[in-house]
Amino acid sequence: MVYKRFYLGVVFRVLGLALVMFFALWLYFSQGLLLAPGILFLIILGQIVELVYFVNSLNHKLARFLDSIRFNDFSSSFTSDSKKGDSFKAVNLAFNEVMEVFKQTRAEKEEQMLFLQVIIQHINSGIISFNSQGQIGVINNSAKHLLQIPQFRNITDLGRLSEELLKDVMDMKPGQRISKKINNDLHIIIQSTSLKMGGESWTLLSMQNINAELQSNELEAWQNLTKVLRHEIMNSITPISSLVESLRTILDEDTFLQAEGMLIKKDGYQDMQEGLDTIANRSKGLVSFVNAYRDYTNIPIPNKATVKVKALFENVLRLMKEDLKSMEVKVDTKVNPEDCEILCDEDQITMILINLVKNAAESLHNSADRTIWLSALNQGDLGTVIQVEDHGPGIVPEALERIFVPFYTTKKTGSGIGLAISRQIMNLHRGSLQVKSTPNEKTIFSLNFR
């Protein structure tokens, strides 16, 4: 409606201009008059000026309106001039309404931004964002308190706390998570996320000091370990102590002093033999337990190299060929893509896979389906996952929560440290070992490499 009125205003002014011009020419050529056409010519000039002003006034308002939007200046207001008619009044009203909407929208965004900043500053996790030049965009109070770096304006300032930490942070990929111990009081876990804002790439880091949690978990681990050690040692020492007392009684009651030496009864001799055999067996068991504990606590740092997963699988199956044949177990392998590679200590990962395949094969002892699936999948930025799957009896939920606890086992034979060592090796690789199991359906162990 506004533009229709403006269009009609221009049309009427052009028609009026043409009419006055025609009348002035008629007076000059038909009547031979000079004064009247001269006066009409001045009127024509005035009409032309008024027409130009009428058109340009709307253009000026549009330009000022667009400049206000471009420079985020919503304080401008557009007043209506009664001499220009209702069309300009409607235009001014529309401009003012739009400016008011922009004002409210900006005010709401500023409130939301302020609310978001308050939330960021009050969360317990440290938050830091930096651009491709390393300039810090956002850093909250938790991050400042955590890092204790004065004048933290560029991510390179992180090197003042730890050069190694700075290198690890700069090498992080989006979605990656790292854990770093800085000192006795600071052990931080950092997660990285990438985003684009204003056409520029930004990296967002979230970090948390897990030192207190680690100390608490360490204390709990030592307490659990002490319970295990006490249980195993007492199980061996108690019968040994009891047998020693029994042997002393046998010596007192079944031996006689003779001139040539000591004489012992046949029954007493047999009892002493059995007792000494029992002591020897229990001692061997205790030595085996101590050796198992030593193996668990002395895992070497991984010597990592790029390894083709297909060749890794072939090596594992070659080493286990005779065992799998004797147990009548078949292993199917699948690698996607065929040239999939992982960065790992080949010997240590081979040991994990042998342990997992062996456990899976033993679980299939009474199963009709004696097939194990050994697979690998490259998931891009999420890393590579290797899985060992069997359709055996599965693991009950109660045992599922404890199978990675050292010295816990569901088998009649075994030390119970194989899975515990395997998980520790994966932790040293900055990966993880996880298990999912549905009783009487399937069990899947997953090795996740990042």
User: Quick one: pLDDT at residue 405?
Assistant: 73
Q: What is the mean pLDDT of residues 165-173?
A: 88
Q: Is the pLDDT of residue 3 over 60?
A: no
Q: What is the mean pLDDT of the chain?
A: 79
pLDDT band at 212 (very low <50, low <70, confident <90, very high): confident
User: Quick one: pLDDT at residue 229?
Assistant: 65
pLDDT digits 0-9 by tens, 108-160 = 777 777 777 777 777 888 888 999 888 988 888 888 888 888 888 899 988 88
Residue type, 19: L
DSSP H or E run through 359: helix 346-363
pLDDT digits 0-9 by tens, 247-300 = 778 777 777 776 677 777 777 777 778 777 777 776 776 676 666 666 656 677
User: Quick one: pLDDT at residue 44?
Assistant: 75
Please state, in angstroms and rounded to a whole number, the distance separating the CA atoms of residues 78 and 99: 9
For the whole prediction, is pTM greater than 0.75? no
DSSP H or E run through 446: strand 442-449
Compare 4 and 108 and report the one with higher pLDDT: 108
pLDDT digits 0-9 by tens, 300-336 = 788 899 999 999 999 888 888 888 888 889 999 999 9
Q: What is the SS3 assignment for 337?
A: coil
Cβ atoms of 37 and 43 within 8 Å: the answer is no
Q: Which of 33-37, 70-74, 84-88, 340-344 has the lowest mean pLDDT?
A: 84-88
Query: 180 Cβ partners below 8 Å, 6+ apart?
Result: 162, 164, 165, 168, 187, 188, 189, 190
DSSP H or E run through 139: strand 136-139
> In order of start, what are the domains of the chain with their CATH numbers?
2-113 (no CATH), 123-209 (3.30.450.20), 214-297 (1.10.287), 305-449 (3.30.565.10)
User: Quick one: pLDDT at residue 42?
Assistant: 79
User: Quick one: pLDDT at residue 2?
Assistant: 47
Compare 239 and 168 and report the one with higher pLDDT: 168
pLDDT band at 394 (very low <50, low <70, confident <90, very high): confident
Residues paired with residue 138 on neighbouring β-strands, in sequence order: 129
